[in-house]
Structure 1
């Protein structure tokens, strides 16, 4: 029994580890593909060289990020079969179909136009190349839509029936399955998270180059100024909207998954005019949040938009149906804090823009640099909050995680987990190092097209002119 429980824990950790690594790259691809489409559209509309320079600079980043996203996503397909075969067998008639739709629509769209986007700038007309960029961008959004439809159905299942003979979830209404109660809120929240994450990477990169140019006594290049300005506009507009989207998502979660809200808030007793616990340490054994620092009435006001609103407590639910509160209590607060800091950065940039100091403010540049990874950190914290908060269920309220795992042995899980960690650290650690090296090179006026450079040249090392960067392999996605 102890061995089985430990194997289950390792299976959960392995999937969390692989998804945690993977989720960053698709989010990066989604936001960056949209940014590339905007840049190329502005270039076609204005014929300003600076937009083409930025397009050529960021498409090199996109090619590496997209490739790592494909590679990191391969593993999870196998994990469904090796580690979570019972889940796949029972929920496959719904989740398997939704994920196959993602391959048939989004993947084929991306794969069909990716080569033109990466290497066709000087080989096809401007209009066709822009169409290819837009198709890749739309493909990333469609991919996100199908994946979130599947995951949201696991959070708030709808439109199904259960076969009494096999226990399998059978589709009854695909519209109800796809547009399940949490799907619209999570789609908007995730989409804006991707755009915001990329905006802060772009803004942080520009801030780094401006600070380095200032130390060297060099003037700031026009491409750096433009990308910093665009990134700060995105932060100013989208960060507050993301906070509003998060609030709407929270109201939806309170309605459909009240125990998750109770756990992430650290609330044990159901009460009206509930306080907001700003800090504390939830104790699952004593059923109390220790060292709690509370803000009176704020819990009801935030969660129900009413001072008299009733906030659920975990004691209303059986102990074996409560998610681990200490984990999501802190990941939720980290996410909220980062969201507030992102909004503050956007407002600071707006003030500096009004003062005419957008490109000269050391405070803004330092803040933008420090906040560069904040979007992805908030995204990871939000993902942990959502997925751990669903426990102990894989399909909320219907299929337990403990009943979804394959009959695997602890030694096998331990070996595969160790192998995953070692390989991921080497492969993706190297990939992230390459990305940082590419970002450390400042975009230049008259930036070369990707197809004009060799692989080593793109990565910042020497290459022969005839060496061409090969397209990321999509075939095994």
Structure 2
């Protein structure tokens, strides 16, 4: 484990923690805007109750996302000074634009959204909620523009050993940017929908059945029905784009080593890619399907890993399985959506305990699939930090392995304590569930049962009865 490997491991560790929280804030912010819009349109109390419930989850996730993002950003200077020196002319302004447009927009309206419902009026409060939701999407746009440029760089020149942007439109709207942006936003919506459905399933399995819980379940499954198949379609387009601009990555995640003249490429379902032997062992194949999916022709071919120098090949074993984990979970989401939509016929879903247990187990699936997708994206780009322009080995700072290993250990210990506690707290809020039939709209600092701080929004125990719940509703273990 040299300094390069440990620096990569440290960045992977911190970004794996960080990406979960912005993804949840992207999905939850849009969900909150929809809930408030439905409340303003229908005046049904259930939508306001759900808004107040999920805004507590959003507030905690937003806070942890900000903290983890700041820590991650500092690593560009500490561990990756070579990259910052060489490519900072592009990535620096893009991240600055994210702060100036998205973060300031979110921060400016966040307080109004959390505490101002009875101070600014429902119309202006809804505008604040929409602004926060827009801020999360704008933030994702700039971050994905920067990452996509590193994957498919264009619009720049190398002058005096540094990258200089010459066409910002080409830099931002690089070839992979539209696919990555849509793919990531849909992944955030899927992760949020699965969290909402799992929360509803948790309460239904424990006998807490009221309009708020049923509405959560219906809205979550509705989102899955819309987004899960769309994500599969976008993923196919993204794969075709990868085949065009990053063929070595595509060959690695397919475990494809070489073409035979006149033969179609099979789809390898399972196997063990061996980088040394240059073959995929124990391959389970479907003839011609690789050609059909990746070239949209019956006998089309795409480059195999042997067509690239060994020094330019990504680790096929890692991306082969991370990609299959992401795709496998995606198919389970589509199945879950279809099963749930079928059970809604006759309103049988609220008593379908087998489905509710499955939905509860699928709660983390969106986050796991998203992390697997990021592993596929980032490991598949190796050995390049800027694809085809700068190698990762040239981007790392001149630290010793002991120095990087020490900071990595500190990160692991601190993150386990801070974000472990934050995750447990989020689960406690979700376990409490939405409060129903409150007498008046809540929203001001100091108002009855509307805490000024998100940290006062959860019970001391997972099974503590929710304040304001209907009398007679069971709260069993």
**TM-score bracket for the superposition, by shorter chain length:** over 0.9
What residue number does 1:262 align with?
A: 251
Is residue 43 of structure 1 aligned with residue 39 of structure 2? yes
Is residue 453 of structure 1 aligned with residue 451 of structure 2? yes
What residue number does 2:187 align with?
A: 193
What residue number does 2:475 align with?
A: none
Following superposition, the deviation at residue 454 of structure 1 comes to: 5.1
Is residue 232 of structure 1 aligned with residue 221 of structure 2? yes
| C-alpha contact 1:268 1:315 (8 A) present in aligned 2 | yes
In the TM superposition, what are the counterparts of 1:79-158 in structure 2 within 5 Å?
Answer: 79-158=75-154
User: Of the candidates 260, 270, 273, which is equivalent to residue 264 of structure 2?
Assistant: 273
| C-alpha contact 2:115 2:452 (8 A) present in aligned 1 | no
Q: For 1:14-37, what per-residue CA distance to the aligned partner results, in whole angstroms no more than 9, with x for missing partners?
A: 000000110000000000000000
What residue number does 2:70 align with?
A: 74
Contiguous gaps of at least 5 residues in structure 1: 463-477
| C-alpha contact 2:384 2:391 (8 A) present in aligned 1 | yes
Following superposition, the deviation at residue 443 of structure 1 comes to: 1.1
| C-alpha contact 1:197 1:376 (8 A) present in aligned 2 | yes
What residue number does 1:360 align with?
A: 351
For these two proteins, the number of residue pairs brought into alignment is 451
| C-alpha contact 2:26 2:188 (8 A) present in aligned 1 | yes
- Give SS of 2:2's match: helix
What residue number does 2:465 align with?
A: none
Distance 2:188 2:253 in 1: 23
Distance 2:227 2:266 in 1: 29
Following superposition, the deviation at residue 389 of structure 1 comes to: 0.1
* Root mean square deviation, CA, Å: 1.2
| C-alpha contact 1:56 1:450 (8 A) present in aligned 2 | no
- Give SS of 1:195's match: helix
Following superposition, the deviation at residue 297 of structure 1 comes to: 0.7
User: Of the candidates 276, 294, 299, which is equivalent to residue 308 of structure 1?
Assistant: 299
Contiguous gaps of at least 5 residues in structure 2: 462-477
Following superposition, the deviation at residue 363 of structure 1 comes to: 2.2
For normalisation by structure 1, the TM-score amounts to 0.93
Following superposition, the deviation at residue 461 of structure 1 comes to: 4.2
Distance 1:411 1:274 in 2: 45
In the TM superposition, what are the counterparts of 1:150-299 in structure 2 within 5 Å?
Answer: 150-163=146-159, 165=160, 167-213=161-207, 220-271=209-260, 272-299=263-290
For normalisation by structure 2, the TM-score amounts to 0.93
Following superposition, the deviation at residue 450 of structure 1 comes to: 7.2
Following superposition, the deviation at residue 138 of structure 1 comes to: 0.1
Q: For 1:99-141, what per-residue CA distance to the aligned partner results, in whole angstroms no more than 9, with x for missing partners?
A: 1000000011001000000110121110110000000000000
Give every structure 1 segment of 4 or more consecutive aligned residues whose post-TM-superposition deviation is greater than 6 Å. none
| C-alpha contact 1:450 1:458 (8 A) present in aligned 2 | no
What residue number does 2:316 align with?
A: 325
Is residue 349 of structure 1 aligned with residue 343 of structure 2? no
